[in-house]
Amino acid sequence: MKYSRILIIAPILFTAILLAGCANWQVPSEVPTEVETSPSTIPLATPTPHQASSPTPQITLVAKYTPTPRLITPAPSEGTFIDQSINSPDGEWTALPAFETLSTGYRVSLTITNKDKSIVWTPVDYQGDGLGYSFPKPKRWSADSRYFYYLESAVVDGCGDFYSIETNWQRFDVQSGQVDKFDLPAGRGHMFSPDESTLAYIPETAPTDLVLLEVSTQTETRVALPITLEDGQIPQAGGILWSPDGDQIILAAANGNICETKQLEFYLITIQISDLEVETLYQSKDFIRPLAWGANDKMRVMDWNSKSWWIDSTSGEITTAP
């Protein structure tokens, strides 16, 4: 197997690219690093159909608001290496999406390698030019570390959605090197619970609820989200993250028109799985999205200028890093 050296440019944050088309927000520059790749041809399997089910009644809400956070972690400086690699739960595999700037355009790739790099899969590797392109957005590893899921995400030039509608992911098998289509109910922000028993997502059509889909029975529970709407505003939600113990969900929400920034409103919302209690941790004119869970109920979040900080996921208070 031959390897080639490529310069990796971390892809610009999807939301930041969308918003940059409408206003003059600063986005951190993309930065090169190096990985080994090997071209390969990956077959596409037949998709598996999704089974629909009936919703259950909505849940009573409890809202809580906190002031706009003080920024704690500054944006990455120009020239900083940004690593978007994702390790499998067993630590044996690494998935690395990459964007490389060329003199004639760009190159997009996804490489998946084992620990000693004796196996290098390249399910995505193509070149193009122009501002709009498709990027392999990482979603998750399966609990048994066999499958890596990613979304063929369209990065557009200009206005678009805050949270794109998804109907399927690509599922890569590290044992066979095969990619097949993994179908999803149409919606936004899909994410499985840590034990893979429940799929959480926001449905494509109104109302803007959180849906909890039990995988084994295909039954749904719908949870209404406390998003305040005015005339003409369009709500969206996504960016769903489960806590490591599966007891809590945090998601981002927005309403308004992305090209009319004065009307925008953003939220961070948490849902306790045990009693489906809903709380609003954050509400502001400033965009925010959850990035990762830390220790001791801490949550790392980021705004559209790539400035990030830590908040307490139960109180919404600004906190230091765990």
Instruction: Report DSSP state, residue 16.
Output: H
**What pLDDT does residue 306 have?**
75
Q: Considering its fold, how many domains does the chain have in total?
A: 1
The DSSP bridge pattern shows strands 278-284 and 265-272 to be antiparallel
| Helix %, strand %, coil % of the chain (to 5) | 5, 45, 50
The answer to whether 318 touches 311, Cβ cutoff 8 Å, is yes
**What pLDDT does residue 88 have?**
96
Domain that holds residue 76: 4-319
**What pLDDT does residue 118 have?**
95
CA–CA gap between residue 170 and residue 152 (Å, rounded): 7
Length of the chain, please?
A: 322
Instruction: Report DSSP state, residue 73.
Output: B
Report pLDDT digits (tens) over 268-300: 999 999 999 999 988 888 888 898 888 888 888
Rounded to the nearest angstrom, the gap between the alpha carbon of residue 174 and the centroid of all alpha carbons in its chain is 22
H helix or E strand, kind and range, residue 18:
helix 14-20
CA–CA gap between residue 222 and residue 217 (Å, rounded): 15
**What pLDDT does residue 303 have?**
81
**What pLDDT does residue 73 have?**
55
Rounded to the nearest angstrom, the gap between the alpha carbon of residue 296 and the centroid of all alpha carbons in its chain is 22
Q: What is the 3-state secondary structure (H, E, C) of 154-193?
A: EECCCCCCCCCCEEEEEEEECCCCCEEEEEEEEEEEEEEC
- Intervals of the chain under pLDDT 70: 1-83, 155-160, 229-234, 257-262, 322
CB within 8 Å of 253: residues ≥ 6 apart: 208, 225, 227, 235, 236, 237, 238, 266, 267, 268, 269
**What pLDDT does residue 297 have?**
83
Report pLDDT digits (tens) over 63-107: 343 444 444 555 444 444 455 789 999 999 999 998 888 888 888
Check which CATH number belongs to the domain holding 33 and give it.
2.120.10
H helix or E strand, kind and range, residue 20:
helix 14-20
Q: Mapping DSSP to helix (H, G, I), strand (E, B) and coil, where does residue 289 land?
A: strand
Dihedral of alpha carbons 162, 168, 170, 171, sign:
positive
Return the structure tokens found at 198: 């429940």
